[in-house]
Amino acid sequence: MLFFVAHAEGSLTPRPFNNKITAAFVFGDSTVDPGNNNYVKTLFRGNFPPYGKDFRDHVPTGRFTNGKLSTDLIVSYIGIKEYLPPYLDPNLSIEELMTGVSFASAGSGFDPLTPQISSVISLPKQLEYFKEYKNRLQSAIGNRRTEAIIKEAVFLISCGTNDFVVNYFTLPIRRKSYTVSAYQQFVLQSFKQVLQDLWDEGARRIAVTGLPPMGCLPAVISLYSRNAILGRGCIEKLSQVGMEYNQMLQNELNSMQGRLAHLDAKITYVDIFTPLVDIIQGLGKHDFDEVSHGCCGSGYLEAGFLCNPGSFVCNDASKYVFFDSIHPTEKTYINLFMASRPVIDSLIQD
């Protein structure tokens, strides 16, 4: 891991496998939003301290963590650039755009109701931005070069947690209409439409992240534990829902890969559930001092504007699995990246 971190901070060459990846495009929620919500009228922002306290120059960029996101680690590993910027940053150059951006928005989800709750960017709107992006690039460098970039690009989707944690299990609206299994199917159908739209826009190398063990998020433990102070174990019921959804998602991705393999498709599932469970409950927990509450504030419920410049902050975030009550620390993202390396390698190899 020390070698990887040194490599990520240093030169971007040589590229692993001498891959031909041109760019990375990311869609989803706060796990992959580097700051798009800075440009949206929403309370779901992370562009103030203590967020970014271990980022370059200690700058809060809008990333909901102390340092880098997993997508920053991935683009650095591939050899594209050090950080993946937010598409809505008005200062991005054409050169920066050409190597990829994130369209993700903290608080978003596959269920159309989820982004409405938080007044953030929906997945269909993120796809609209991608189409706008393509038009901007075509105007600047021409259709042929733009198509070549899209063809050899990696596409990453990380979304779904808010649909269950913020929407289904917290608000009564969806629970009135859907059983848990019916809602899992509903979210999956919404995801399939996103995937189809990306395919139609030229995406061929697509990685999709499953749900985390939702019952292990500090905020979820605080809300659902019978004793939120002394009983800080994971809420297995919610994690089980995520595990079931992940299996359905994996089956769908395998099916789509089988149908489209002859068209040069590389559609793959990224498991974050298993490595996170190991970090929190398994052998990996020995790498951390705190696994059930975040570094910011009490670590029980603070996230977003509740984790702010006035909050108490732990001295060493690398000893914590979570930075606030929902989002992982940079060290956790590094561990998840390392666990997903085989999948990333298969995606970028020809």
CATH number of 209's domain: 3.40.50.1110
- Catalytic, out of 89, 111, 197, 324: 324
Domain total in the chain: 1
pLDDT-derived band at 14, boundaries 50, 70, 90: confident
Per residue in 151-191, pLDDT (tens digit) is 999 999 999 999 999 999 999 999 999 999 999 999 999 99
Crossing angle of the two packed helices 330-348 and 70-78, in degrees rounded to 10 = 40
pLDDT over threshold 60, residue 7: no
Residue 2 resides in a domain: no
Distances (CA, A) of 50 to 238, 240, 324: 29, 32, 10
Q: Is-catalytic flag, 102?
A: no
Q: Is-catalytic flag, 340?
A: no
Residue 3 resides in a domain: no
- Which structural domain range is residue 36 located in? 23-214+236-277+329-348
Q: What is the mean pLDDT of residues 137-148?
A: 97
Residue 15 resides in a domain: no
Per residue in 285-320, pLDDT (tens digit) is 899 999 999 999 999 999 999 999 999 999 999 999
pLDDT over threshold 50, residue 4: no
Name residue 206's amino acid.
I
- Catalytic, out of 89, 102, 327, 340: 327
- Catalytic, out of 30, 76, 102, 325: 30
**The pLDDT value given to residue 230:** 85
Residue 18 resides in a domain: no
Mean pLDDT (the chain, rounded): 95
pLDDT over threshold 50, residue 88: yes
Residue 314 resides in a domain: no
Residue 290 resides in a domain: no
Q: Is-catalytic flag, 108?
A: no
**The pLDDT value given to residue 5:** 46
What is the radius of gyration, based on Cα positions, of the chain? 19
Per residue in 51-68, pLDDT (tens digit) is 999 999 999 999 999 999
Residue from 331, 255, 326 nearest 33 by CA? 326
pLDDT-derived band at 90, boundaries 50, 70, 90: very high
Task: Tell me what percent of the residues of the chain surpass a pLDDT of 90.
Answer: 93
